[in-house]
Structure 1
Amino acid sequence: MSKIVWITGASSGIGEALVYRYFNAGDKLIISARNRDELFRVKGNCKNSFNVHVLAFDLSETGILAQKAEAALKIFGKIDLLINSGGVSQRGLALETELKTEQQIMDTNFWGTVILSKAVLPSMINNGGGQIVVVSSLVGKFGTKLRSAYAASKHALHGYFDSLRSEVYDKNIDITIICPGFVKTNVTYNALKGDGNPLNIMGDAHENAMTPAECAKQIVQAVKNKKEEAYIGGKEIKAVWLKRFFPKIFSKKVRTAKAN
């Protein structure tokens, strides 16, 4: 049975790859991101795309998000699956990052996801259930150099949605947190420097990483299995367990690790 799926961050990378996965599965889609032209490019890649609706907006503009969620709900009458894939990364030392840049990262990654999720949740409950997916990061489980605000925003997502899951478990609402490692996207290229400008450099680890299509394949399976949390990537996933069981060793390694 087809679902109504709303995907943010759908104009590139993991979000775009998820659009194709769910479209090819026969689902109806609402796709969102800042860049309207890129969203229509993605829509154009879907044959007979009358079931793909473009809803463009900036996640950092938190004051308009509840209104955008209301608009999304009116498109097909409901939303079965919300995938919060939109976000922005960071490449800057904490002491050199301006507060406005840190606020922008928190607004985009944390508050944007929270506001949209809270806005669609009552409708999901009234319709008998639904699923909310949060694309976090392995950095949502530990911090690394040059990513203080980014790591904070992802850590906050885990705290919030773990708590929310315990509140809505009896309302047929499933919450899945996805933690990708390195994926070959423009995440490093678009990452914000301390002054808020994009880095415009592709990191080596991302250049040689898993493709968005493979990442999307694993995310779809994790969502289908209604996993509470899923780690996706290569050997970098081992850092989660190293941090948990050998924190001092992890700290020593992360100090000297290349941050790209």
Structure 2
Amino acid sequence: MSVKNKIIWITGASSGIGKSLAILLSRQNTKLILSSRNESALNEVKNLCNDKENVKVLPLDLEKYEDFQDKVAQAISLFGTVDILVNNGGISQRSLAKDTSIAVDKRLMDINYLGTVALTKAILPHFIQQNSGHFVVTTSIVGKIGTPLRSTYAATKHALHGFFDSLRAEVHANNVKVTLVCPGFVTTNVSKNALTGDGSPQEKMDKATANGIHPDRFAVLMLKAIKAEKEEVYIAGVKEKLGVYVKRLYPKLLSKMIRKLSVT
């Protein structure tokens, strides 16, 4: 599939993977809609894009998902349609389950799962009506494997896999595609912004995150998966990818491996 002339809406576009993907797509003769809570950061990303007239900024807070019908109408009005929705926005976690307040659990679920699902449902009738569309969802390797300090984050990503696997089957006849993109460690601010047990941000970068894939490289591989209309793709280091397959074939072995990971 070519993305040339496609109208692509990206959430979480103000930094990290979303920012790198937006800049890369702007070089592919696309029309872009960039969303996140941070309008000033979105405008900075727009200024880094090619063909700025074909890049629109639409602020959106995934936690405030009650108004997404209006947001979708606004998005469609910008270019007349939307061809691809990249559900990339979200927030991570760094805290033990026993130390994590239920309010933090709820916030993670509201942003990562319910916000993403609400936006998907809001635009789904448009995709069905035009008999085409593509949902691209940034989940995580942790959406396949639960690891320490990420209990609720892992739960939100597992939930996205369940929802979008089901949706893929339901909308196949409507020519609507679903691609689940599972990152391993990527050098972004995700660990700095990750919520701790009381809801405050961690405000430091994990060593593994600092040594992860550069978001520009990640965006290249992500775009390749989008063009190929992959159903699911793992963009990660060798160890993270290996974990997915060990989980599938030797789950007890993986459990032993996971228990050896640091929980401090």
Structure 1 residue corresponding to 2:170, chosen from 167, 172, 176: 167
Give the equivalent residue in structure 1 for 2:149. Answer: 146
Once the two structures are TM-superposed, the CA of residue 22 in structure 1 deviates from its matched residue by 1.0
Cα distance change on mapping 1:24 and 1:259 into 2, 3 Å: farther
**SS of residue in 1 equivalent to 2:128:** helix
Cα distance change on mapping 1:116 and 1:101 into 2, 3 Å: same
1:17 is the counterpart of 2:20: yes
Give the counterpart letter for 1:39 in structure 2. Answer: L
1:253 is the counterpart of 2:253: no
Once the two structures are TM-superposed, the CA of residue 16 in structure 1 deviates from its matched residue by 0.4
Give the equivalent residue in structure 1 for 2:71. Answer: 68
**Matches of residues 22-171 of structure 1 in structure 2 within 5 Å?**
22-171=25-174
Give the equivalent residue in structure 1 for 2:225. Answer: 222
Aligned equivalents of 1:75, 1:148: Cα separation in 2: 38
Once the two structures are TM-superposed, the CA of residue 65 in structure 1 deviates from its matched residue by 2.4
* Contact preservation (8 Å) 2:192, 2:201: yes
Aligned equivalents of 2:263, 2:78: Cα separation in 1: 42
Give the equivalent residue in structure 1 for 2:194. Answer: 191
Provide TM-score, normalisation by structure 2.
Answer: 0.96
Once the two structures are TM-superposed, the CA of residue 258 in structure 1 deviates from its matched residue by 3.0
- Residues 147-188 of structure 1, C-alpha deviations (whole Å, 9 max, x = no match): 111000000000000000000101110000000101100110
1:239 is the counterpart of 2:243: yes
* Contact preservation (8 Å) 2:26, 2:51: no
Aligned equivalents of 1:94, 1:242: Cα separation in 2: 24
* Contact preservation (8 Å) 1:89, 1:192: yes
* Contact preservation (8 Å) 1:70, 1:119: no
Provide TM-score, normalisation by structure 1.
Answer: 0.97
Runs of 4+ in structure 1 over 3 Å off:
none
Identity %, equivalent residues? 47
Cα distance change on mapping 1:122 and 1:210 into 2, 3 Å: same
Aligned equivalents of 2:79, 2:164: Cα separation in 1: 26
* Contact preservation (8 Å) 1:34, 1:56: yes
- Stretch moving more, 236-245 or 56-65: 56-65
**SS of residue in 2 equivalent to 1:230:** strand
Give the counterpart letter for 2:12 in structure 1. Answer: G
Aligned equivalents of 1:62, 1:106: Cα separation in 2: 12
* Contact preservation (8 Å) 1:78, 1:124: no
Give the counterpart letter for 2:122 in structure 1. Answer: A
Aligned equivalents of 2:70, 2:166: Cα separation in 1: 25
Give the equivalent residue in structure 2 for 1:179. Answer: 182
**SS of residue in 1 equivalent to 2:179:** strand
Aligned equivalents of 1:36, 1:128: Cα separation in 2: 32
Once the two structures are TM-superposed, the CA of residue 102 in structure 1 deviates from its matched residue by 0.7
CA RMSD in angstroms comes to: 1.1
Once the two structures are TM-superposed, the CA of residue 259 in structure 1 deviates from its matched residue by 5.3
Aligned equivalents of 1:126, 1:113: Cα separation in 2: 20
Give the counterpart letter for 2:128 in structure 1. Answer: I
* Contact preservation (8 Å) 1:14, 1:212: yes
* Contact preservation (8 Å) 1:222, 1:230: yes
Aligned equivalents of 2:130, 2:14: Cα separation in 1: 28
Aligned equivalents of 2:220, 2:76: Cα separation in 1: 26
Q: Give the aligned length.
A: 260
Aligned equivalents of 1:70, 1:255: Cα separation in 2: 47
